[in-house]
């Protein structure tokens, strides 16, 4: 791979992804295995005017050891150092960059009950702090291949060939392989915003999903909760940024209590080091009341029921099946990529920032909306070439939104 292409990808993450401002701090989180790429990203942060770049290196083998041998009580709560970092985020509003590269099988075989309890408790404490800085910090998640991830996607290739193949794939679906990635991304974002504006002009109140796989699900939307797509802005300074590279979705958050019916997943889900396959969820009065999977059922149930309000929907996302990611016919084993292959839902936390005039509302006004609040957010794919979505507007008129997995508006 030409170094110039990789450098331009790093520049895309820094300038378009988090949009580093002059004098702003940046915190990068990523695997020690991709240190060379993290160095490139760090250099681009300083070129963009960052005052200081901090890097938190991760290692899944160390995480396994912590879960296997560590005292649960010492891991399920934030310690003083971790609290100090959260308080620093609240005070200084740095950029946050997450480089996705983990082995999808990294946590396979661990004590899922112990891990689930640690994750649930710690997430609750983190979100209490994050709620105070989340709207004020630019953040971006983007991928770069590790060896084990590449071998999971391309098991029949030699090590370096697998890494090169996955890197090329990541660059292509991120619109960073050819031409100017920043300009490519601007055009793509404009197209996403066009679909978003169409959806918001329809004043939809319900979405009815049906497919030949068996999906028959009705989701109720909330007045004054809009669809979003592409970039976001920080709450106070209105700094634009792109939280996910890549992204293909127009998404909203539904009424927590008014989802009814059954939905079938169309792609496997990589979850807590396990792969969940061939599963469906049944909803009543918003709650997931039935879970079935041919593989990974218990880990799916744990993710839904061991997290507070994990059994309610937090997101509905519309993605056509002709998205670049779906056209690869590759399963990335990473939600960042796989969720952008087709329409998806997410159980867990909703997005309060989708409320109209969100930055003008008090916390009490925001809490009055029937949006799900949870410490988890898990996306799963439901779109295929047979999926139809019919919307109902506030006057009761039905509008075909998706036909056979593609936009109909």
User: Does 257 score more than 90 pLDDT?
Assistant: yes
Supply the pLDDT for residue 195. Answer: 95
User: What is the gyration radius of the CA atoms in the chain, in angstroms?
Assistant: 20
Tokens 């509003």: give the residue.
Answer: 93
Supply the pLDDT for residue 170. Answer: 97
Q: Which tokens belong to 127?
A: 């979100």
Supply the pLDDT for residue 271. Answer: 86
- Rounded CA separation 398/82 (Å): 50
> What's the rounded mean pLDDT across residues 242-269?
96
Cis peptide before 122 (omega within 30 of 0): no
Supply the pLDDT for residue 363. Answer: 85
- Rounded CA separation 364/348 (Å): 20
Supply the pLDDT for residue 291. Answer: 98
- Rounded CA separation 67/71 (Å): 8
User: Does 147 score more than 90 pLDDT?
Assistant: yes
User: Does 292 score more than 90 pLDDT?
Assistant: yes
User: Does 1 score more than 80 pLDDT?
Assistant: no
Supply the pLDDT for residue 92. Answer: 96
How many helices and strands, by DSSP H and E, does the chain display? 13, 21
Pairing of strands 139-143, 95-100: parallel
- Where is average pLDDT lowest: 96-110, 141-155, 215-229, 243-257? 96-110
Q: Which tokens belong to 47?
A: 């070129």
Sign, Cα dihedral of 85, 89, 90, 96: negative
Cis peptide before 246 (omega within 30 of 0): yes
Q: Which residue has the higher pLDDT, 107 or 34?
A: 34
Supply the pLDDT for residue 278. Answer: 96
Structural fold of domain 3-179? Thermophilic metalloprotease-like (3.40.1830)
Q: What percent of the chain has pLDDT over 70?
A: 100
Q: How does residue 104 score in pLDDT terms, banded at 50, 70 and 90?
A: confident
**Residue ranges per structural domain of the chain:** 3-179, 182-407
User: Does 386 score more than 80 pLDDT?
Assistant: yes
> What's the rounded mean pLDDT across residues 204-233?
96
Supply the pLDDT for residue 306. Answer: 84
Do 261 and 282 meet the contact criterion of CB atoms below 8 Å apart?
yes
Supply the pLDDT for residue 80. Answer: 94
Q: Which residue has the higher pLDDT, 75 or 141?
A: 141
User: Does 19 score more than 90 pLDDT?
Assistant: yes
> What's the rounded mean pLDDT across residues 265-271?
92
* DSSP category for residue 332: -
User: Does 323 score more than 90 pLDDT?
Assistant: yes
Supply the pLDDT for residue 47. Answer: 98
Q: How does residue 111 score in pLDDT terms, banded at 50, 70 and 90?
A: confident
Closest CA to 89 of 229, 234, 231, 230: 234
- Rounded CA separation 321/249 (Å): 11
> What's the rounded mean pLDDT across residues 24-49?
97
Q: Calculate the average pLDDT of the chain.
A: 94
> What's the rounded mean pLDDT across residues 243-253?
96
User: Does 273 score more than 80 pLDDT?
Assistant: no
């Amino acid at each position: 791979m030409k170094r110039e292409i990789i450098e331009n990808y790093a520049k895309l993450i820094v300038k378009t992804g988090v949009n580093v401002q002059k004098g702003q701090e940046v915190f990068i989180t990523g695997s020690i295995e991709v240190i060379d790429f993290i160095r490139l990203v760090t250099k681009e942060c300083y070129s963009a005017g960052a005052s200081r770049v901090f890097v938190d290196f991760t290692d899944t083998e160390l995480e396994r050891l912590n879960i296997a041998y560590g005292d649960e009580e010492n891991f399920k709560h934030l310690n003083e150092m971790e609290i100090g970092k959260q308080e620093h985020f609240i005070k200084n509003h740095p950029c946050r960059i997450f480089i996705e590269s983990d082995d999808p099988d990294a946590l396979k075989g661990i004590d899922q009950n112990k891990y689930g309890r640690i994750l649930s408790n710690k997430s609750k404490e983190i979100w209490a702090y994050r709620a105070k800085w989340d709207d004020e910090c630019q953040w971006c998640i983007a991928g770069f291949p590790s060896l084990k991830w590449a071998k999971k996607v391309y098991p029949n290739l030699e090590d370096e060939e697998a890494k090169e193949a996955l890197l090329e794939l990541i660059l292509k679906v991120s619109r960073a392989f050819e031409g100017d990635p920043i300009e490519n991304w601007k055009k793509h974002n404009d197209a996403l915003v066009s679909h978003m504006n169409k959806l918001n002009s329809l004043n939809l109140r319900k979405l009815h999903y049906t497919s030949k796989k068996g999906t028959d699900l009705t989701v109720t939307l909330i007045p004054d909760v809009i669809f979003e797509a592409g970039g976001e802005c920080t709450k106070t300074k209105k700094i634009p940024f792109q939280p996910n590279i890549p992204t293909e979705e127009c998404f909203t958050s539904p009424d927590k209590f008014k989802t009814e019916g059954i939905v079938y997943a169309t792609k496997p889900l990589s979850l807590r080091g396990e792969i969940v396959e061939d599963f469906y969820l049944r909803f009543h009065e918003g709650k997931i009341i039935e879970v079935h999977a041919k593989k990974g059922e218990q880990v799916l149930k744990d993710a839904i029921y061991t997290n507070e309000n994990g059994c309610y929907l937090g997101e509905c996302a519309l993605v056509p099946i002709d998205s670049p990611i779906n056209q690869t016919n590759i399963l990335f084993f990473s939600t960042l990529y796989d969720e952008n292959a087709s329409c998806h839902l997410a159980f867990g936390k909703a997005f309060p920032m989708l409320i109209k005039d969100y930055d003008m509302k008090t916390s009490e006004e925001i809490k009055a909306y029937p949006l799900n609040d949870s410490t988890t957010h898990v996306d799963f794919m439901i779109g295929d070439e047979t999926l139809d979505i019919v919307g109902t507007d506030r006057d009761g008129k039905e509008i075909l939104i998706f036909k056979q997995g593609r936009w109909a508006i």
